[in-house]
Structure 1
Amino acid sequence: MKLEAGTKEWARVERKAPFGYFVSIENTDVLLHESDVVEAPEIGDDITVYLYHDHQDRLAATQMEPHVLLGDFGWLEVVDIHPRMGAFLDNGIRKDVLLPADQLPELKSKWPKSGDRVYIQLEHDKQGRLLAVLGREEDFEEIAEPATPDLFNQDISGYVYKIIKIGAFIMTEGQHLAFLHRDETKEELRVGQLLEARVSKVRDDGRLNLSTKPRKEVSYSQDAEMIYAYVKQRGGRMPYTDKTAPDVILDKFGISKAAFKRALGKLMKERRVNQEDGWTYIAPGDTEQ
């Protein structure tokens, strides 16, 4: 039987060496380096080891417990990025596993950063060395749980696993599949990023639509404070009201006419501003002047 990296095997400890132990697996001697020893064995012991290729491409053994075995899927943390090679992932042993550049988006700004997490499967390259392959849509579907209606408008978190032109796909920490449209966020997203968002819709198929925009009541308040600050800055009055043209509102405040009217209505209801003859004024007696 040919020994393969990425597998767990029974090994017999044959002899001690200055730098560790030699163990026998299927009549093949493999080095268990002293830095890979978790519990010192005795000569003749049968132990379980995990096989990998060391930095000199030699098959080596470790007693450390890997997070993911050959052929299995799992979430691994990104520990380093190489601009030409790809992302290096922590698999729980001394040697990190490579997620090749051709598995990542063309734009490097969408590549993961250290500390991000990606869902991968361990495979062999043509030389039999371990590498990571990103999970495909069908792989996520296999582990996904359908979302329930009570998640609507709730805050959730999850990891971005795929980015397309119109948005990003996310696997939530509750194992739900979700989509974030590019119009629902101001962030430039990257693969592996931990994202916090609000559930804007629970779809009939059990998937979620997400948004990172503030809830309407929060948005109204933020817009209202921005407008109020603008009026104060102009000495307590401005030549814009709920009758002002939408393109002027968008140019001056960066929000829609509808949002401007809602925010202005909030300020008038609170008696902080009033309108007269095409102008908006800070209301007399307003304590925030």
Structure 2
Amino acid sequence: MIHIGEYNTLTILREKEPGLFLSDDEGNEVLLPNRYVPEEFKIWDELEVFVYLDNDERLVAVTDRPYITKGDFALLRCNDVTKHGAFLDWGMVKELFCPFKEQAFKMKKGGWYLVHCYLDEETNRLVASSKTNRFLDNKELTVKPFDEVDIIVSHPSDIGMNVIVNKTHLGLIYKDEIFKDLSVGDKLKGIVKKVRRNNKLDISLGQIGYRNIEPNSQTILDELNDYGGFLELTDKSSPEDIKETLQMSKKSFKKAIGSLYKQRLISIEENGIRLIEK
């Protein structure tokens, strides 16, 4: 099957005046126009091509690589706005259409917008939507704490920055954990710091090495943050006090604070441990 809005590896079937006809394993064919035909080729060679509908609504294969593909998110520039909607630059001859009903805010010519690309089943056309949240779902998570994830900066909120996680879920980076300038559309690596009630995801940019922090160490960091950066616990504290505060054994506590101390994330004082501010 030839997939619209995706890269397809197809076989060169024959050469005709308008270009090369390519075929999938099921015998479905699509034209690769002359402007995209490679200088050297042989019949039965395989080509990786992107497939979409051209300006005449015909299925066509191209060797151009768009800025966004079906199911993806990207920051695109608005080239024009008409009575029908907005037209976005996605690196292709035919611009990507964003109907007014799919605009979170009214788009303006020259503006940049984070959009999702999907296939309109009624028209079989690729369409953009800046209402990105409706394409995300946290009901069934595919990630867990301490997983490394791909994130796309989505939009700011009063408490931080919303991010798209693995093109599937919505997450949040809190203001006090943002140590660099972030802009909508930035693509970065992150770490799942915590899963909260209703599967809300707390994401860290990993500046303090969350990937190398065991769960007990992370628990201590969370408690330090919740208690103003200081806990009245040391390796001399009683097992009962440690268990009551952190729900872990004294042995686990000593191992965890040792790891945090080596990473220079905490200082160990006479009457407790203190979070080192970065």
For normalisation by structure 2, the TM-score amounts to 0.48
TM-score (ref. length: structure 1): 0.47
Q: Quick check: which has more Rg, 1 or 2?
A: 1
